[in-house]
């Protein structure tokens, strides 16, 4: 029994005829339909809860829509992008990213600046003490155009969605570095079962004599 039907039936005086009751039930059914439509509109006007218009939200926000992701992840990504803007602090970006990817962390890169040198009188001096993940130029300049994306995600589709989201909300002048990001379904695992080595008897008993 719908909400509207319950409410209107409580307002009907005792002893009312069957025809009037049927009319009230019909009105209640119509009002229930209107009520459900209003609820649906409210749901679809929020990218974090939208279903039928979720692809439209992605187009509006500027994200690539991947229907292979589960609904909850798609809604969370849309919500993240909707409430976030570019150029935020690392802390704010982590708060936003972890709505849909709770195991992902964004970190600013660190470099041993005490061992780095830049352009000198003798020309360009190259140093080789940059972290192994860094793929930019090694001319001694301080590379501040990268941020590290670490943690774990489930699959390649989530990686694509994560990078699309970062492209939307992260600082436009910086690039994500994802070599430490673990994709769970691509991680090598080994399985070990139960094995029986055998039974061994040592010594003799009186029955063996």
Distance CA 125, CA 116 (A): 9
pLDDT of residue 108: 79
Q: What is the pLDDT of residues 3-15, one digit of tens each?
A: 777 777 777 767 6
Helix (H) or strand (E) holding 61: helix 54-61
- pLDDT, one tens digit per residue, over 91-134 is 778 888 888 889 999 887 765 555 555 554 445 545 556 677 77
- The partner residues of 146 in beta bridges, in order of sequence, read 175
Helix (H) or strand (E) holding 31: helix 18-44
pLDDT tens for 12-32 read 767 677 777 788 778 888 788
**Which one is predicted more confidently, 142 or 94?**
94
User: What's phi and psi for 97, nearest 5 deg?
Assistant: -60, -40
Domain range list for the chain? 3-44, 88-186
**Nearest-angstrom CA–CA distance, 102 and 184:** 14
In the predicted model, is pLDDT for residue 57 greater than 80?
Answer: yes
Q: Which helix (DSSP H) or strand (DSSP E) does residue 175 occupy?
A: strand 175-177
Residue 149 has pLDDT above 80, yes or no: yes
Residue 105 β-bridge partners: 150
- Terminus-to-terminus CA distance in the chain, angstroms? 86
Dist. CA 84–CA 91, nearest whole Å: 12
Give rounded-to-5 percent helix, strand, coil for the chain.
40, 10, 50
Q: Which of 15, 158, 1 is nearest to 73 (CA)?
A: 158
Question: Quick one: pLDDT at residue 140?
Answer: 64
Give pTM, 2 decimals.
0.54
Task: Tell the residue number behind the tokens 């009319």, with chain if given.
Answer: 23
Residue 84 has a pLDDT of 65
């Amino acid at each position: 029994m719908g909400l509207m039907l319950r409410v209107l039936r409580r307002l009907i005086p005792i002893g009312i005829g069957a025809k009037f009751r049927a009319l009230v039930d019909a009105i209640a059914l119509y009002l229930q339909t209107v009520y459900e439509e209003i609820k649906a509109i409210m749901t679809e006007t929020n990218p974090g809860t939208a279903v039928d218009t979720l692809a439209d939200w992605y187009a509006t926000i500027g994200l690539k829509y991947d229907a292979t992701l589960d609904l909850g992840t798609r809604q969370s990504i849309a919500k993240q992008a909707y409430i976030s803007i570019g150029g935020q602090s690392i802390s704010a970006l982590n708060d936003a990213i972890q709505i849909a990817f709770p195991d992902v962390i964004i970190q600013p890169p660190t470099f041993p600046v005490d061992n780095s040198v830049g352009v000198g009188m003798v020309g360009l001096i190259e140093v080789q003490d940059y972290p192994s993940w860094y793929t930019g130029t090694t001319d001694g300049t301080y590379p501040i155009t990268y941020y590290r994306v670490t943690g774990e995600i489930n699959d390649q589709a989530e990686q694509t969605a994560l990078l699309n989201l970062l492209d939307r909300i992260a600082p436009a002048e910086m690039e994500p570095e994802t070599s430490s990001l673990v994709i769970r379904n691509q991680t090598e695992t080994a399985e070990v079962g139960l094995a029986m080595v055998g039974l061994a008897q040592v010594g003799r008993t009186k029955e063996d004599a």
